[in-house]
Structure 1
Amino acid sequence: MQIVLASTSPYRREIVARLGLPLVTAAPVCDETPLPDESALETAVRLARTKAMSLASQYPDALIIGGDQVALLDGRQIGKPGSFENGVTMLQWMSGRTVVFHSALALYNSRSGQLQEDVGITKVTLRNLTEQQIRNYLTREPDALHCAGSAKSETLGGALMQKVEADDPNSLIGVPLFALVTMLHNEGVEIL
């Protein structure tokens, strides 16, 4: 069966490509707006599922991987800032604090309708950051504006972080890879 990653993120693609399997990427169709009274975990899982299933008609005989990440601080979901000043504000709020990232993963077998889901939880404690450090970071790392909370750990964003706690270090970048290997195995795809 074809393996499809429902994402245009080069970072998610890079993680999944580590498994050495032939991989196709495609843009999912998904409104990423959180629903009223939806928890961060529920939002992440719903979006991962929706992204994977949105490509089923385009790929009727495939294993489709969907993923989404939602950050949470003080009971508030932290999305993508979208603008430089929003990124500054978000990082000032997060500075010196621990943020919980929910990285949801869905694997949808479009032939059988079988759906598997998992969520990787990562706790990230940010350093105490000055406004100038935040502005320097966002100037040097403009792609961070497209990441939850502007925290792009795979590049310069690692300098923002003081401590990271996770069962799977890949989760913070957006794909709980350990869980994906298990899901693929459940579908008869052997990695090793």
Structure 2
Amino acid sequence: MPRLVLASSSRYRRQLLDRLEIPYAWSAPDIDESRREGEDAVTLAHRLALSKAQAVAEEYPEHLIIGSDQLALFEDDILGKPGDFATACANLARFSGKRVRFMTGLALIDTAAGRHRVVHDTYDVLFRNLSSSEIESYVSRDEPYDSSGSFRMEGLGIALFERFEGSDPNTLIGMPLIKLCELLREAGVDPLTKTGSQ
């Protein structure tokens, strides 16, 4: 059993973690992702990331468990997954020609040591001016219904943007790898040498 565990069912997060070439297991957490009354974006991102890791912690008592969750922030709204065609199209129409910020919470629980760290990273995207036909064509082709922001950066979604601004583009996909590497090194696992990965 690898020492590292990813608390996520997202194939995109698994693809990101694969890049570090550290053996890991993954488990799908079952949590309520609803926003609580008065909860701001940072608090929500931190709570959801930590809750995901905590949801599987009992199964992995001697492990490092990663939890991650992403929010889309636009004007005064915190947006989750669109869920359907109409909502995704409406979101992209609002975003046309404007800036959207993505915030990704990242938690690492060390169940053996009984401690955890939670951090977050942000990444901004500036959307092109999009026509309704472009939006509808994109949403019908990529079906980004389970993606915050109503697009898939890993797919055709790249055609929606004018530019990106941020320190780690992986944050936009759903897990800030630069910050993850930092947390892993603090926990005794160096992705470059694989020290402590087993």
TM-score computed with the length of structure 1 as normaliser: 0.96
1:170 matched to 2:170? The reply is yes
Task: State the distance in 1 between where 2:181 and 2:170 align.
Answer: 12
The residue number in structure 2 matching 1:23 is 24
Aligned AA for 1:162? Answer: E
The residue number in structure 2 matching 1:11 is 12
- Paired residues of 1:51 and 1:67 also in contact (CA < 8 A): yes
In the TM superposition, residue 43 of structure 1 has moved relative to its aligned partner by 1.0
Task: State the distance in 2 between where 1:16 and 1:161 align.
Answer: 25
In the TM superposition, residue 79 of structure 1 has moved relative to its aligned partner by 1.1
Aligned AA for 1:123? Answer: D
In the TM superposition, residue 155 of structure 1 has moved relative to its aligned partner by 1.1
Task: State the distance in 1 between where 2:57 and 2:123 align.
Answer: 29
Task: State the distance in 2 between where 1:40 and 1:129 align.
Answer: 27
Aligned AA for 1:84? Answer: F
Task: State the distance in 2 between where 1:158 and 1:119 align.
Answer: 23
In the TM superposition, residue 151 of structure 1 has moved relative to its aligned partner by 2.2
Describe the SS at the equivalent of 1:8. coil
Aligned AA for 1:174? Answer: G
Task: State the distance in 2 between where 1:69 and 1:76 align.
Answer: 14
Q: Which residues of structure 1 form unaligned runs of 5+? A: none
The residue number in structure 1 matching 2:161 is 161
- Paired residues of 1:41 and 1:70 also in contact (CA < 8 A): no
1:147 matched to 2:150? The reply is no
% identity of equivalent residues: 40
What is the correspondence of 1:68-147 to structure 2 with a 5 Å cutoff?
Answer: 68-142=69-143, 144-147=144-147
Q: Which residues of structure 2 form unaligned runs of 5+? A: 193-198
- Report the number of matched residues: 191
The residue number in structure 1 matching 2:59 is 58
Task: State the distance in 2 between where 1:104 and 1:152 align.
Answer: 18
The residue number in structure 1 matching 2:188 is 188
Deviations 1:46-100 (A, max 9, x none): 1001001111111111100000000111111111110111111111111111011
Describe the SS at the equivalent of 1:66. strand
In the TM superposition, residue 29 of structure 1 has moved relative to its aligned partner by 2.0
RMSD: 1.0
- Paired residues of 2:142 and 2:151 also in contact (CA < 8 A): no
The residue number in structure 2 matching 1:47 is 48
Task: State the distance in 1 between where 2:127 and 2:78 align.
Answer: 17
